[in-house]
Chain A
């Protein structure tokens, strides 16, 4: 019996060893530095809940929204926007453009230092821009049209463009330190993980505990004045539900990931403020418009009449109500209204929800249901049956796809949904010869329309164009608008382009979702909405909230 007991104890010991080892391993990293002796004044820590963990903190390769949110605290851009969204200098003191619109001169601020004490100079800007120009990083697209970057003196940089670049003031590239990266090869920059980023930004990285949190501390020497908050901690949650609970329990102070159907509940909490702002984004129902014979899509969908009929048949208001819990705006044209007057409003020609009209269009185009199975056919008997790729992780997409399926079924179009992860969807489109007919995707929009307009150009097929649509007039107008420095002329061109895209409907713009943020009012004050009074408090084009925020 004793023997057995011994063995049992031995087993327990085996189990227990890792436990003690665990304690030993983890404590040192969490030991506060100022443990011995005097306690410092209470630190002010702003905790922001996020749902997606950043993929990288290197601005060159990071692609997720959450990554940008963090890297924009660590690094700076040349230009930022004031509270009314007019461009103003950040790292750049001021800038000017030559008469012909081909040369941009940026005068940089002096006496800005990198975290490691080195001076920020023109070399850093030149190196960053040149690196982005020399290869296709995710950010490189912003420098479209830039041919050369030149250092004039320590604090002056000149950018040369091929043709006038109308969206120059809209580019937001984070400047990285030349003295740290100059010896790294392009390939290393493409693949390395930045664990100790050196920036000029308002906050510095302290630690990133993967799966748990990212901790930043303030940059005391920040040139716009240091923040009143000592630290920002991005707390990573595995799901929105616990995130909301943590906000209510006061475990976090704010979040950029608000669950839409919990807004009402949050608003009832006297200590929580929910911020709803029109979002500069859109979600589209994209069609496989690839006319190449390699395309594996159903060729019927190449007929714009069918796509327009779909536009009439889809009840976008209901999609907004159900998929977004009402926190969004039904969409019409490519550039959403929130971007300002670049948006073209179709007015009377809008494809308003009207299943009857949709059926008429299909009838007129010769698509009728001849065999009585409820699905229309073309004159050769090919069925209007389309495959629909939907990303299952995005709740709103799944809900929208269900409604779309029902709407189209009502006008005699069969939709077969298959759900997948986003990687599988992009494989279908880019790797497997567009082996689907419809899909859902979304884009964020900039203040300048160029980037979003470029998505539908023929040039971008196989690159950023995900519907592989091509239209010569549209392409010509795109080239034209990017050279029109006269805003009124450009506006007209931009509107014309949207009209074409609306009538050919490679995309059906379903909705723009609102930006939802929430913060607690009991600990900090100074939350500032940008644009003033109507915008967001956390996702900002300048540092207003971070500079204004202080402990109550």
Chain B
């Protein structure tokens, strides 16, 4: 891989990161409420201590100084203290992020598999009933609000049929005899939210898969292969599909970055203890440091994912010039 291309993309990501940090910084300085009062629910702090808190959070300095302090603490991995829980933000997010990643990966797997299969079928049968059906379904799914889909699934599978639990990631407070029992319980809780979230996003993948496969199918070498007498099915699967995967891979990479923020609706409906719900709860509690931290981490994931996507694209697509 060309080192210049890599460096250029790395530099771009870095600049984007700086911009995100800056937006993030200013966004939370304009929020209402007296931050010191929020840290200490008591109005009667000693003046010295209020000052100490001010110093800790930097409320009393000029904006540029606050900004510099903010950058400095970020570099050292300090995301501040939660107003509500009085614990370091990084710990709180750390406790939650795995739940979101687990959910997001399962949902993505559902969506990607669905997208590839249905998209391929649609493209291979362009213009026919399968195609129209698949396209219609993909657009329909895209139009459904994710939370609504969750509600409908819960009302059917959990309330009517009673086959899935309705809340959380595990049976709260249960002791597990074996690790396997624990994993089984998590999976049981995981299934419905990941299907719900997967369905909500699979429409996009189907569309991309379909259109990129259609693109490939019009290229010369496919026509040649057909002319050579290969079966249509073989041509699609062996020749066209691998090349059509190229845009899919990059889109997947980008999407993975967005997943953590995108899980918010599903997490709220299913009481899933992830970062999305943390953001929702923190907004109600006006826990700005947590919001700010979550924001930054989600954005950071997106930047990394974008970077990976760029690299992958540059690596996979021979048409991109590295100069």
Q: What is the interface of chain A, defined by CB distance below 8 A to chain B?
A: 1, 4, 7-8, 11, 14-16, 18-19, 21-23, 25-27, 30-32, 35, 39, 43, 45, 47, 53, 55-56, 61, 63, 135-138, 185-187, 190-193, 209-213, 215, 231, 233, 235-239, 242-243, 245-246, 248-249, 251, 393, 421, 423-424, 427, 431
Smallest CB gap from A8: residue in B:
B249
- Known contacts: A1-B242, A4-B316. The answer to whether A11 contacts B308 by CB under 8 A is yes
Are the C-beta atoms of A192 and B101 separated by less than 8 Å? no
Which residues of chain A come closer than 8 Å to B87, judged between CB atoms?
A: 193
**How close is A390's CB to chain B, nearest CB, in angstroms?**
16
Are the C-beta atoms of A32 and B98 separated by less than 8 Å? no
The one of B33, B45, B168, B245 that contacts A187, using a Cβ cutoff of 8 Å: B45
Which residues of chain A come closer than 8 Å to B171, judged between CB atoms?
A: 251
The one of A22, A27, A186 that contacts B46, using a Cβ cutoff of 8 Å: A186
Which residues of chain A come closer than 8 Å to B173, judged between CB atoms?
A: 45, 47, 213, 215, 231, 233, 235
**How close is A320's CB to chain B, nearest CB, in angstroms?**
26
Which residues of chain B come closer than 8 Å to A424, judged between CB atoms?
A: 32
Are the C-beta atoms of A212 and B249 separated by less than 8 Å? no
Check B179 for interface membership: any CB of A closer than 8 A: yes
Cβ contacts B92-130/A at 8 Å (1 or 0 each): 100110100110010010000000000000000000000
Which residues of chain B come closer than 8 Å to A238, judged between CB atoms?
A: 167, 267-271, 277, 280
Q: How far is the CA of A341 from the CA of B168 in the complex (A)?
A: 45
Are the C-beta atoms of A211 and B278 separated by less than 8 Å? yes
Are the C-beta atoms of A43 and B169 separated by less than 8 Å? no
Check B69 for interface membership: any CB of A closer than 8 A: no
Smallest CB gap from B273: residue in A:
A211
Are the C-beta atoms of B42 and A233 separated by less than 8 Å? no
Which residues of chain A come closer than 8 Å to B182, judged between CB atoms?
A: 27, 30
Which residues of chain A come closer than 8 Å to B96, judged between CB atoms?
A: 210-211
Check B253 for interface membership: any CB of A closer than 8 A: yes
- Known contacts: A18-B98, A23-B183, A427-B33. The answer to whether A193 contacts B176 by CB under 8 A is no
Q: How far is the CA of A125 from the CA of B105 in the complex (A)?
A: 53
Check B3 for interface membership: any CB of A closer than 8 A: no
Q: How far is the CA of A421 from the CA of B84 in the complex (A)?
A: 16
Lowest 4 CB-CB distances: which A-B pairs, in order? Answer: A233-B173, A187-B49, A193-B86, A136-B44
Smallest CB gap from A426: residue in B:
B33
Are the C-beta atoms of B170 and A210 separated by less than 8 Å? no
Are the C-beta atoms of B316 and A7 separated by less than 8 Å? yes
**How close is B171's CB to chain A, nearest CB, in angstroms?**
7
Are the C-beta atoms of B158 and A11 separated by less than 8 Å? no
Check B159 for interface membership: any CB of A closer than 8 A: yes
Are the C-beta atoms of A27 and B179 separated by less than 8 Å? yes
7 further A-B contacts with Cβ under 8 Å, apart from A245-B159, A421-B286, are A15-B108, A25-B98, A35-B177, A47-B173, A135-B44, A193-B86, A246-B165
- Known contacts: A32-B176, A39-B177, A136-B43. The answer to whether A22 contacts B102 by CB under 8 A is yes
Which residues of chain B come closer than 8 Å to A215, judged between CB atoms?
A: 172-173
Which residues of chain A come closer than 8 Å to B176, judged between CB atoms?
A: 30-32
Are the C-beta atoms of A242 and B32 separated by less than 8 Å? no
Smallest CB gap from B309: residue in A:
A11
**How close is B277's CB to chain A, nearest CB, in angstroms?**
6
Which residues of chain B come closer than 8 Å to A15, judged between CB atoms?
A: 105, 108, 256
Which residues of chain A come closer than 8 Å to B44, judged between CB atoms?
A: 135-136
Which residues of chain B come closer than 8 Å to A55, judged between CB atoms?
A: 41, 84, 285
Check B235 for interface membership: any CB of A closer than 8 A: no
Q: How far is the CA of A237 from the CA of B268 in the complex (A)?
A: 9
- Known contacts: A22-B101, A190-B42. The answer to whether A431 contacts B172 by CB under 8 A is no
- Known contacts: A1-B242, A211-B273, A242-B271. The answer to whether A11 contacts B170 by CB under 8 A is no
Q: How far is the CA of A527 from the CA of B159 in the complex (A)?
A: 27
Are the C-beta atoms of B42 and A242 separated by less than 8 Å? no
**How close is B48's CB to chain A, nearest CB, in angstroms?**
8
**How close is A27's CB to chain B, nearest CB, in angstroms?**
6
**How close is A411's CB to chain B, nearest CB, in angstroms?**
34
Centre residue among A209, A211, A235 by max chain B CB count within 10 A: A211
The one of B167, B242, B269 that contacts A251, using a Cβ cutoff of 8 Å: B167
Are the C-beta atoms of A187 and B183 separated by less than 8 Å? no
24 contacts between A and B (CB under 8 A): A4-B242, A8-B249, A15-B108, A22-B102, A23-B183, A25-B98, A31-B176, A32-B175, A55-B41, A136-B44, A186-B49, A187-B45, A187-B46, A187-B52, A190-B41, A210-B95, A237-B167, A238-B267, A239-B271, A242-B270, A245-B159, A249-B162, A423-B32, A424-B32
Which residues of chain B come closer than 8 Å to A19, judged between CB atoms?
A: 101-102, 105
Which residues of chain A come closer than 8 Å to B53, judged between CB atoms?
A: 191
Are the C-beta atoms of A212 and B281 separated by less than 8 Å? no
Are the C-beta atoms of A137 and B42 separated by less than 8 Å? yes
The one of A11, A187, A212, A233 that contacts B312, using a Cβ cutoff of 8 Å: A11
Smallest CB gap from B159: residue in A:
A245
**How close is A423's CB to chain B, nearest CB, in angstroms?**
5
Check B220 for interface membership: any CB of A closer than 8 A: no
Check B90 for interface membership: any CB of A closer than 8 A: no
Are the C-beta atoms of A190 and B245 separated by less than 8 Å? no
Check B200 for interface membership: any CB of A closer than 8 A: no
Q: How far is the CA of A388 from the CA of B121 in the complex (A)?
A: 57
Which residues of chain B come closer than 8 Å to A213, judged between CB atoms?
A: 168, 172-173
Which residues of chain B come closer than 8 Å to A242, judged between CB atoms?
A: 154, 166-167, 269-271
Are the C-beta atoms of B166 and A245 separated by less than 8 Å? yes
**How close is B5's CB to chain A, nearest CB, in angstroms?**
16
Are the C-beta atoms of A427 and B32 separated by less than 8 Å? yes
Which residues of chain A come closer than 8 Å to B167, judged between CB atoms?
A: 235, 237-238, 242-243, 245-246, 251
**How close is A194's CB to chain B, nearest CB, in angstroms?**
9
Smallest CB gap from B162: residue in A:
A249
Smallest CB gap from A231: residue in B:
B173
Smallest CB gap from B168: residue in A:
A212
Which residues of chain A come closer than 8 Å to B323, judged between CB atoms?
A: none
